[in-house]
Every structure is written in C-alpha cells, then in structure tokens.
Amino acid sequence: MPGLRGRLGIKVNDGMADRIVTRCCRGLKFTKVAPGGHQSLSFKMTLPRNTFNDLGPVDRTYVYDTRTTKTVIEGYLENPTPTDGPDGQQYDIAAVGGVALANDETRGLIYIDRDLGQFQKDLGALSTSTFEVAESVSFPGNQRIRAQFAGDTLVSPGVFGGAGNYEMERAGMSLGAVRAVVVSGRTDAAYRSRFQTPSVAVDIGAGATISTAPVDSTVWASTDFPSGTTLRFALYLYRTGAAGNIPAADASVWTDYVDVCVLGQRMNRNGTLLTGAAGLVSATQVLASQVVEDLLGRLLTFCDPGTAQVDTTSFAITQLAYPDGVKAAGVLNDLAVFESGYYWGIGATGENGKHEFWYRAWPTTPRYEVSVRDGWQQRGSDVDLCNRILVSWTDAAGKTVVTPVTAASLGLVGIGLPVDDLGTRIKDADPITLPAGKGSLANATRIGGQILTDKISPPKAGTVLVRRPILDMLTGNQVMPWEIEPGYLCRIRETGDELRITQVDYDDDGCSMLLTLGRPVLTDEQRLARLDRA
Amino acid sequence: MSSSWPLVKYVDAPAAAATVRYDFNDQNPNLATSPAKKVTEFDPGVPTLEGDPDAVGQQWGFRSPQIVHTIRGTKAQAMAALSAVSKEQLRDTNWVLFQPSAATQPVWFKTYRTGYQPITLDRVYVRVDGGGQVALPDTWKVTVPLVADAFAYGARVVIPTLQVVQGPADLAGPVRGAMHAVLPAIKGDAPTGLRISVTPASTAGSGFDPDWLVGCVAGKATMADTVIDIGTGDGFTAGTNMGAGVANAAYFGGSYRQASIAVSDLSAGSNFAERLTGSFPVVPAGRYKVLARISADAPIGVRKQYLFAFGNNFGSAVIRLPSGQLAIVTRVQYGDTELLDFGGAGFGALTFDGWVDLGDFPFPAGYTEVPDVVGTMPAQVFSLKIGLADNTTGTVRVDAFKLIPVDGPTVTSANLLRANFSFSPLQKLVTGTFDGDSEAYWSTNAGGSTFFNNGPSLSGGFPVADPAAERNLLLLMALDRGTQSGGSPYITDLNSQAAVDVSYYPRYLHIGDGT
C-alpha cells in the first residue's frame, strides 16, 4: 500500500505546479554525505503515468518532516521511469541532491601559482636579452626568473628584457596580485625592474633603480593595476637612462624575480571581486576558507550567500592552480586534503530558492548518542609498519623534489604505537608523487603526513543502524532516524567510540537510518586522485 | 428495488445520497429485469500492520473484505449479475457501502481493482429429509473478494464553521480562536485527513497572496500553543541596539520592541548580534516550533536581507577544552539561520509584517522525556539574534513569539503544512481549501463556483486529526501579508478574522460482519 512509514511528506514540482504525492509513494530512500550534503533520493510513485508528462532534470522533489515542515532532503530529478504493466502504472523516481550542482561548470582557476613554467620570453624583449629559470643563488631553495642584458650589448632607452605570463588569460580569471623578491646583479639607476600589464607599468623592487639589495615586492589589483580586467602581465628589466653599451665582460645587468607568486583575483561570497592587500590579504598563500568564499561567489552561485556558513581555516596553501579548468566539487575535495578537519555540504533550498551551503570544521564533541542494539559493524584495516614516506613533487622550475616526512616529525613516535618497535630503523612506506599544479614543500609535508599517519594509526570506521529515536545532544531533542545529519560526531554508547558521521542512508521501509561512521583509510591512489585535476 | 439488511452496495461515493452501482442485497427486484440477491455472508476483513511493531514508523496495509451473496434467478440472469459485479470490480477505485442494520451508521470501503480470485457461479444445495443434498432451483452463490483501504470511511462529518483571528488571545462573543481552534471530538477509530476551507473576512486580507501555515496537532488536553508577547512589560532583556517596549495598538499586546541595527553591532564587519534574551513562561515540556512576529524595514529599491536565529540557553557548565584546560562555558544553541530577503522590490518603511519560522527547539533545553516521569518545565532562557547578511543598517520590530508543539509527552502527532502563495490567492473573498485525503489545495471565489488558477507551493504534511487524542488543535496562521501591497487592512493585521470550515471522513477499523 502506498504511503510512507516515517512522518515524512513528498512533493514533486514539475515546473508548473507543486503536488504533494505522499500517499502515492513508497520505498523512499535517501542519502546524505559529509562532505557533500544532500546526495540522492529515490522512491516509487503510484500515479497514472500521464500525471506528470515532462518530468526531467530541471524538476525537483522534496521530502519534508510533516511535523515541522522542515525539508529533510531535496533533489533534482533524473529522467523518471514511468512504468506500466502487471504492477500497474507508477514512476520510479530517482533524484540527485544539491551536491550534484557542484559538478556543473568547469572553469580555470588560479588561486596561487608558483609555477615559473607559465612564463615565456616577452615578444617585445630585446632580442639579445635572456630569460631563464633556475634556483636562486641568493635564496637557496627558491626558484627565480632572471631577465638579463648580455654583455657587449647596446641598450637604448626603453628596451627591456623579461617574461610575460598569460596563464590568467587562458584560465579566464583576472589577476589579483603578483609578488616576487626582486634582486639585481648591480645597483644602477639606469635600469628599473618592472611589472607591466596592458594598461599600466609599475616599478617594483628598489623603485627608480635596480639594486643588489633584495626587495619583497607585491602589486595588487585596484591598488597597482586595474581590477577585474587584467588578464596578463610581464616582469622585466627596463633601461631608462641614456643609451649605453654593456661591456662584453659585464654579466651584472640582470634582475632576478625570486619565489614569484601569481594570485588570482578572488571574489567574496556575493560575487564581488576582492581588491588590494585588504581584500586579498596575502599574495604568498591562500586559505581554504578564502577559496571557498570565492567558489560561493564564482561557481556556487545557486547557494545562498546570506546564510552560508564558512569557517575560517588556518593552513596556508602555497600552491593551488587549475589552469586547465576544474569544477567546484573538485576544488572542495582538494581542500579536504589540505584541511581534513573541515567538510562542505550543499543542502536544501530556502525561500529565496537558493541552497544552503556550509564549509565547517568537524565538531570535536559528539552530537548523537546511539546504541549498537540495532546493528553495528566496525571495519578493519591493516597497520603498515613504517616510519617514513618520501613525497615527490615538481617545483616552480619544473624540477623533481623529494621531501621526506617522518613519524617523528608527526609526533607519532614514543606514544605506544606499534611503530615504536622499529626503533632507529628506517622503513619507508610506498613513495607518492603529487600531481602537477599541486606541488610545494608545504603541500608535500601536509599530504605525506596524512598518509603516514593513516598507515601508522589507522582511523576507526564502521556502520551503525538506527531504527528508534536517539538523543541529539546539540539541540537536546530526541530525534527520529530521518533527522540524523552527517557531518557531526556520534558516540557509540557501548564502545565509547566517538566517530564522524560521514554518510547517512535512510530506508523508509524499515524506518531506519544506516550511519557510516569514521572514514576508511584512503589508498594512496584515492588521496592523490582527490588532488588531481578534475 | 428494495434492499434489506445488511446493506451492501457498490456506490459512486461515500455518501448517503450516492448513486447505487450494484446492490448485493436486493431481494425484491423487478424480476423481469434483474434477479433477487441476498448477502449471506459479509467479512470486512482486517488490515495488516506492516513494519516491526516497535518501529518508529509503521503502515497499515490493505484489508480484504469478502462478500458471499446468492442470486435467485435463471442462470442467464445470474450470469448477468456476475457481469455487473465484474464491471464494478474492474473500476480503478470504487466504494462499497456496508450498513449492518438500521441501528448502525453506514460505512464505506474504498476498494481497488486487484488480482482476481476465481469467481464462480455455484449452485446452492440444501439438505433433504432422508439424507443427501439437492440443488435449489435457480439459486446461485457468488463469492466476491475485495481489496480495500485499511480503514472504512464513515459519512463525512462537517464541523460547524469556526472563526479564527490573527491575534494573541482568543476573543469572546462569539468565540474566535487566536490563530487556532480546538476541534470537537473526532469520530472514528483511526487518524483521518481533514478538509479545511479558509475564508478570510471581507474586511481583511487585502494583501495579495499571503502565506499560510495550516496544521493539526493531536495530543493531551494540557498541550499548549503559547503566544509570548514582546513589548512593554515583557520582562526580557534588551541586547545590542534593542529598544524598550513601544506602545502601538497595531501590535500584539499593544506594544513592540525595535532593534535598530547598525553596521558593526557585533564586531567589525558583522551585525548579526544578540538582540533579546529572557525567560519563556512555563509551557508543557516538549519540542516546539518557534515563530517570531516581526515588522521589518524594507525600503523600495533597496535589497534588505535580514537574518534571524533563535537560541536555547543550556546554562553554564565547567567543561574541559580541547587544550585540556577547564573552563566555565555558557552554551546557547542556536537553530538554523533564517533569511528574510526582500530582494529589491521592498515593501516600504516598516510595512512588512509577518511570522519568521525560527526552527524547532526542546523546552527545557536538553530535556529528554521519560514516559513515567512527570515534571514541570523551568523558565527557559532564550536568545534572539537579528542582523543583516551584508552588515548594513536596518530596523526590525519584534512583536511576539508563537510556540507550536510538534513532539513530546503531550503530543500524539503533529502535521503542519506551509502554503507559499505566489500566483494563487488565499485572501479576502477567496476560499482556500486544503484537503488531507487527496493531498490537494484549491481555491474558489467566495461563492465556491469558480476556481482560481494555480496553486501554492506546499511543504510539510496535510493536517490529520486523531480520534484517540484528548485534543485536536487546528492551527491557522497567516504568515505574511503577501508579496504586494494592495490596501489595508491586511490579513496579518491584529485580529484579522477568517472563517474556517472543517470536515472529514471518520475512519473505522472494526465494523462488524452484518450478522
């Protein structure tokens, strides 16, 4: 007999009208995930097959708690499957939640890029000038671009040598800032180090001269060059004095741009471009929360910026660029690798038709308390006895760098874990290589650390079935199974474990919610796949 | 045609005046055209309870009534009668009237086309002296299996017209309920969907397309849907830039409080600040939906996005922080942030008024009901935050809170439906009908003869009343005055009145077998 067992109602909107169809529905199932939010729902709807003639992906279905009118889950319909036959006429309805919208559009995004391979010799540069990328002698461990006028060269006023950068133009994102440590081979007021866009030129470094003293220089959108429209720029060495001949043996007419950071111009959650140091905050790093705010204003425009919750993160991301394009979900999943203590989600629409959005820290105290009486299963995993991992990545100059991450550096030695048995012996886990565009020392340390931690101390994971009201310690309510939300901690009463709820699967036939707790250990491939370009 | 008891008939509707489609107990027919028929056995069947008995949700399955009736006539007439029964069985849905005797009320089974068992035309045999059986001449027995809804329907019960007002307290002479009405005892055995027709008084409701909350909460007689007035003498504590009570006869209790929101009330770049705190009066412990009645400043041409959040204060406790340090922490658990977005159209200065749904909360905070322990709720400390999404300035007048019980020891079931009207009206001179049986809404002109286009966007569940409950509380709240200003007064104005007509089909589990 059609109808739902939980105190739930179902509505279908076919674009013309809303229709409550609860009494015609059965077999409701839905899934919510963290990260992700509303993922999917399905049910059978016993109605004449011509009740809805053109249900499709733009139409929606909603599941409500009939006690409060609160939306439990909401989805966009897949192409429905009207059936007619021995079982009568009915629809098999399947819908995807708001999380699917995060996979809609692909765009090039340059949040912060230290890849010097994006520079190329400027077409207008003096033909005898040179441009090369190599490791800085002045700042070991950092890569630099060197623009140089060779010896035995006549340099006239206005000539220049340097490199242009067109990656923002290719990505379709405006430039937010460029930062470099500028240092030259000599101090000479006949030359200047310049940053130039199609409309403005700014002397950087020592200003009206070049200097052997390094200067950390940053130019910002709006402050130094036009906001929102600057898509390409050049860094170059520029002759301002009278024409002069550089002696053949003189190899000092050069300027290095060290540790160049190219910052895309982020938006705030309302879609307004951020400008200047006040808006963009830093030209050498971005925070995951800043990236999320940009996604809200740029790609997740179907989410409600007014009520969106974005918790501030702290890890400084030093390399995050998608010149070939990426979807919002791809960026958000990448951020989970940098900030594993945070998760994102897209929920139901509000009265203004926009979806709820959250990017928030995993709580540290449990919200739900459940018993194992209805079913509990813990997933096992192997402990890999190793105390070091080597992480390979590509630096700004395109060279391969290997960064070791050790158990000792992670604080996992001497606390009673099996890894202590290795003593001074070094045993490496399988090495990994970071994908292109994500390589930096900080990223390598962060990701290598996560992999090694999982191998040494695997997280607990399991499933628990809930088919009765449980205590919601956050609100104080006794909540029904369908009210349980992922993205919070759950305490298993009998074992005392406090685990993250990463997925909930509701089955109305049993009026039960299956909670997936914790996270199984990711394989290296899974972790790297998250970081790979979408 | 003359029927005898019990009455067993296929009819076209669950009503006494319905057209008879086939009479199983027609014992005095026109023999020239139809044979005599008699119900010799009627088994109403019982529905099955689907789902584990202790599950939080269960469902009643179909029931399988069975009719055995005899036909007295030629075989050809019997075959014709069998054909007539088959026609009725082949309808998608049908109604079978059953009335055991004149002393009982009729009930109707809503039947469905189903997989058929063989229906045979059996001869009727009688024992004869000396042993053995002989077939009665021209007498045939037919067994008709049915599949029907779990509960039989009684005749529609129409409750005398009720009157409700959009005000804080019931009014007398005549009685007008304050956004609610208590339904008289519900007939039947099982919960039933209500048909609720709302007709705003002709002197109210000029606003176009106001939103409505319609619901029915079943529970104990002690269950309460409390209005908490805010304004002069409310005893609450003003928060950031919240004024004292201001007298104004248009507001509940004759006054309101006004929050004058500045750019950075909370901190640099944020004004989503705590505006009001205090203690709620004692209400029966349980889970309540909380709504706030407000007026907001929404100048035309300026987009205003007001944020609201209601919090339950759990009190202070010594806790161990993640750092390991002990600290005394006061915990206020806020619900979801609610957005009131005026786009750019605006309503003008402080001309919007309506209810903001702040979510549902347990009172007392953190309370878990235990079936065998009865207690009294302490005064519950609350907090109300108001701000703007873009941290600009704004003005909000806070008039009252409304608590709607949705769960807990005093509540058997709650079903609330929110109707968001956009192109379809429920305003003065319009009757809007919410029908729980068909899960449908329609609106007509006051005479009921002309339907209006379109329907509202509905969320939640259609109202259901429970005959087992001590009280069925009908809720009717106009949530806002609508999307356009079309004159005054509005349906949300103080004590705007609406007539409410409620009817339902009683649902019966046990009917008797007609013997």
Residue B152: helix, strand or coil by DSSP?
A: strand
d(CA A116, CA A167): 11
| Alpha-carbon distances, residue A345 vs A294, A302, A489, B342, B409 (angstroms) | 15, 13, 16, 26, 34
pLDDT digits (tens, 9 = 90+) for B366-381: 766 666 666 666 778 8
d(CA A125, CA A161): 5
Helices (H), A219-302: 276-280, 288-298
Mean pLDDT of all residues in chain B? 85
* pLDDT for A528 beyond 80: no
Q: Which residues are within 8 A (CB) of A180 and not within 5 positions of it... i.e. 6 or more apart?
A: A145, A204, A216, A217, A235, A257, A258, A259, A260, A261
Arithmetic mean of pLDDT, A294-323: 93
Query: DSSP assignment, residue B163?
Result: E
d(CA B412, CA B472): 10
Q: What share of chain B is helix, strand, coil (3-state, %, to 5)?
A: 5, 50, 45
**Chain B residues within an 8 Å CB radius of A306:** 305, 307, 339, 341, 389
- CB-CB under 8 Å, B461 with A22: yes
**Chain A residues within an 8 Å CB radius of B57:** 4-7, 508, 511
SS3 readout for A43-81: EEECCCCCCCCCCCCCCEEEEEECCCCCEEEEEEECCCE
- CB-CB under 8 Å, B341 with A351: yes
Which tokens is A33 given?
């995930």
Q: Classify residue B132 as exposed, middle or buried by CB count within 10 Å of its CB (0-12, 13-18, 19+).
A: exposed
Which of A22, A306, A474 is facing B339, going by the closest CB pair? Answer: A306
pLDDT for residue B140: 84
| Alpha-carbon distances, residue B159 vs B152, B196, B201, B448 (angstroms) | 20, 10, 19, 18
Compute and round to an integer the Cα radius of gyration of chain A.
28
Nearest to A197 by CA among A225, A155, A158: A225
pLDDT digits (tens, 9 = 90+) for A377-418: 877 655 567 888 999 888 877 788 899 988 888 888 887 777
d(CA A289, CA B490): 45
Q: With an 8 Å Cβ cutoff, is B422 touching chain A?
A: no
Nearest CA in chain A to B211: A351
Q: Can you list the residues of chain B whose pLDDT is less than 50?
A: 1, 205, 485-487, 514-515
Q: With an 8 Å Cβ cutoff, is A369 touching chain B?
A: no
pLDDT digits (tens, 9 = 90+) for B330-356: 888 898 888 888 776 666 777 667 899
Nearest to B439 by CA among A19, A296, A266, A320: A19
Compute and round to an integer the Cα radius of gyration of chain B.
30
**Closest Cα in chain A, distance from residue B75 (Å):** 33
Arithmetic mean of pLDDT, A295-303: 95
pLDDT digits (tens, 9 = 90+) for A126-181: 888 888 888 888 888 888 999 999 888 888 998 899 999 999 999 999 999 999 99
pTM, rounded to two decimals: 0.85
Nearest CA in chain B to A47: B92
The residue to which tokens 């319905």 are assigned: B18
pLDDT for residue B138: 78
Classify each residue of A381-403 as buried b or exposed e, where b means 16 or more C-beta atoms within 10 Å of its C-beta.
Answer: eeebebbbbbbebbbbbeeebeb
Q: Is the dihedral of CA A433, A439, A440, A443 positive or negative?
A: negative
* pLDDT for A485 beyond 60: yes
d(CA A297, CA A283): 20
Where on the phi/psi map is residue A422: left (φ > 0), alpha (ψ -120 to 50), or beta?
alpha
pLDDT for residue B1: 47
Nearest to B148 by CA among B449, B402, B511: B511
Classify each residue of B191-217 as buried b or exposed e, where b means 16 or more C-beta atoms within 10 Å of its C-beta.
Answer: bbbbbbbbbbeeebbbbbbbbbbbbbb
- CB-CB under 8 Å, A23 with B439: yes
**Chain A residues within an 8 Å CB radius of B58:** 5, 511
pLDDT for residue B116: 60
**Closest Cα in chain B, distance from residue A481 (Å):** 8
- Residue length of chain B: 515
- CB-CB under 8 Å, A304 with B362: no
| Alpha-carbon distances, residue A447 vs A338, A439, A500, A519 (angstroms) | 7, 10, 20, 16
CB pairs under 8 A between A and B: 151
pLDDT for residue B44: 87
pLDDT digits (tens, 9 = 90+) for A1-20: 668 899 999 999 887 778 89
Q: Is the peptide bond before A404 cis (omega within 30 degrees of 0)?
A: no
Q: Classify residue B449 as exposed, middle or buried by CB count within 10 Å of its CB (0-12, 13-18, 19+).
A: exposed
- CB-CB under 8 Å, A510 with B51: yes
Tell me phi and psi for residue A462, to 5 degrees: 180, -175
pLDDT for residue B177: 95
- CB-CB under 8 Å, A510 with B60: no
